[in-house]
Amino acid sequence: MAYPLVFMHDASITTDQWLRFVRRRCRGSSPETGLIAIRDRRGVIHALFSYRIDNDLRVRKRLSIGDLIVAHLPGSRIDDAVSNVIAEVSAQYGCQIVTIEQPFATRHARHAGCPTAEALRHHRRVN
């Protein structure tokens, strides 16, 4: 159900690649890694991200967010929903730190920040 959002984000990702990715993230029985999709009341997925629980250098529990894909719609409150879900997951696992991973890009790649990650950083500074 999330593949249309993934395809809109990056049309080069095939259905087979997506299914392999999902299987790898969801195969283990550990609740400390997984995928989260955020849906509206109609069941349409507007955001998706992977997560894992680990420790930082100070041995504090950390929630690491990766593969963040968000459909930005006019008038949408999706950034707040993503931020709230991340806060809930962080609290559920007792994480003291939350990181949102930015994909590595070579210096030849076009540099563009993730709009949702930027919005979440701004949201935290304001609140």
Q: What average pLDDT does range 62-84 have in this prediction?
A: 87
The phi, psi pair for 117, rounded to 5°, reads: -60, -40
Position 27 scores a pLDDT of 73
Q: What average pLDDT does range 59-69 have in this prediction?
A: 92
CA 73, distance to chain mean position in Å, is: 17
Position 111 scores a pLDDT of 46
Position 24 scores a pLDDT of 84
| pLDDT at position 98 over 90 | yes
| pLDDT at position 56 over 50 | yes
In which residue are the tokens 């259905």 written?
15
CA 30, distance to chain mean position in Å, is: 18
Q: How many residues does the chain have?
A: 127
HSE (side-chain half, CA atoms, 13 Å) at 84? 6
What is the band of 2 on the pLDDT scale with cuts at 50, 70, 90? very high
CA 95, distance to chain mean position in Å, is: 16
List helix spans (H) across 1-127: 3-9, 15-26, 78-92, 115-126
Q: What average pLDDT does range 58-84 have in this prediction?
A: 87
Confirm whether pTM is higher than 0.95: no
Query: What DSSP state is assigned to residue 97?
Result: E
C-alpha angle 87-91-95 in degrees, rounded to nearest 5: 100
